[in-house]
Chains A and B, each alone.
Chain A
Amino acid sequence: MWQWFYKLGSPRYFYEMTTGFVPWLARATFLLLAIGLVWGLGFAPPDYQMGDNYRIIYIHVPTASGAIWIYAMMAVMAAMHMIWNIKVADMVAKSCALIGASFCAVALVTGAFWGKPTWGTYWIWDAKLTATLILFFVYVGVMALRSAFDSETAASKAASVLTLVGVVNLPIIYYAAYWWNTLHQRSSELGVRDASANPPEIWIPAVFSGFGLIGLIFVIIILHTRNEILLRERRAQWVQELVKQETGNA
């Protein structure tokens, strides 16, 4: 297991491993998402209080927690890059930023369109909402900082440091609804621990859409990282041969 993990640190091994793996992951992702969203939109029963409006949950909750977990992954990769100087870790960290910002944006927008009919407002400076908005700005900041350097080494270092500093925000978002009683409700745990909270007809589609979005995160991060590997390892013999093969020029 550790040896395999260690081998993934080699750009070439990462690239070759993922070549066969990504199409299957993409298919599973598409299937899970299709099942989860169609089920959630059309077949799950309406909520007794919020009616059909609650169906936004099937994208709001997985994108919001995804935004946090992608950041956690980006931070682990940044730390691995800083401590052991693993090149692939930095490439994965770089690939996390845009998809993380996108998940954050989707969580904020779907939350706004859920909040309007239920809370009566698109936006309020609630603790959880504000912390999530800050997370979005941190993602954008990491991307901007990385692109501000001409030197790749300097860009990686600066982005890694900022990423690690931004970690303080994660527990704030996660526990915001517990630490401050503003507006955002606490997680209803999908009824897994408290069976009375939500019936399985409501939370089973959320499990499908949740795993579907986890798959999507990995598909997108892997595809980005593969591009980054080709670009940064362009002088390596195996990349040069691959380019010849792919572009059909000898």
Chain B
Amino acid sequence: MPEFRFDSIADFFAMGGYGFYVWVSYGFFAVVMGYNLWLPYRQRANTLRLLQARQLRQHGQAGIESDLRQQQNAQQQQGEAH
């Protein structure tokens, strides 16, 4: 079983004097990878919202068109009746 190589947490952060280089490297890595993981989740939410809006618009238009058609049909029928 590998043992912890540092005497204390402060010692761990100091990295034998190389703390600055090691932690900047790991920090940059964490930030870039975190961004790469977060991005597709945000894109998915955006894509779904976009496609939902598209669907609602199409359904809305189709709905208005069928309403108009019904109205026209009703008017035509009224006109024929007169």
Contacts and interface: CB of A to CB of B under 8 A. Distances in A.
Interface of A: 37, 39, 41-46, 51-53, 55-56, 59-60, 63, 98-99, 102, 105-106, 109-110, 113-114, 116-117, 201, 216, 219-220, 223-224, 226-227, 230-231, 234, 239-240, 243-244, 246-247, 249
Contact of A117 (B21, B39, B50): B21
Interface in B33-67: 33, 35-37, 39-41, 43-44, 47-52, 54-56
Given A227-B40, A243-B52, A55 B6 contact: no
B55 A249 contact: yes
B38 to A, nearest CB: 10
Contacts of A59: 25-26, 29
A247 B1 CA distance: 49
Contacts of A43: 2-5
> In terms of DSSP, what is the predominant structure of the interface of chain B?
helix
A240 B16 CA distance: 57
Interface size class of B (residues with CB under 8 A): 35 or more
Contacts of B22: 41, 52-53, 55-56, 113
Contacts of A41: 12, 22, 26
Contacts of A60: 25
Given A99-B36, A223-B41, A42 B47 contact: no
A116 B48 CA distance: 46
A98 B33 CA distance: 11
A201 B5 CA distance: 12
Contacts of A224: 39-40, 43
Contacts of A201: 2
Contact of B32 (A44, A102, A114): A102
B15 A247 contact: no
Contact of B52 (A39, A227, A247): A247
A113 B2 contact: no
B17 A223 contact: no
B55 A243 contact: yes
A114 B25 contact: yes
A215 B56 CA distance: 38
Nearest to B52: A247
B66 to A, nearest CB: 17
A227 B43 contact: yes
B44 A226 contact: yes
A116 B18 CA distance: 10
Given A219-B37, A220-B40, A227-B44, 19 more contacts: A42-B4, A43-B4, A43-B5, A44-B2, A51-B16, A52-B22, A53-B18, A53-B21, A60-B25, A98-B39, A102-B32, A110-B28, A216-B33, A220-B36, A227-B47, A230-B47, A231-B47, A231-B51, A244-B55
B32 A51 contact: no
B81 interface: no
B24 interface: yes
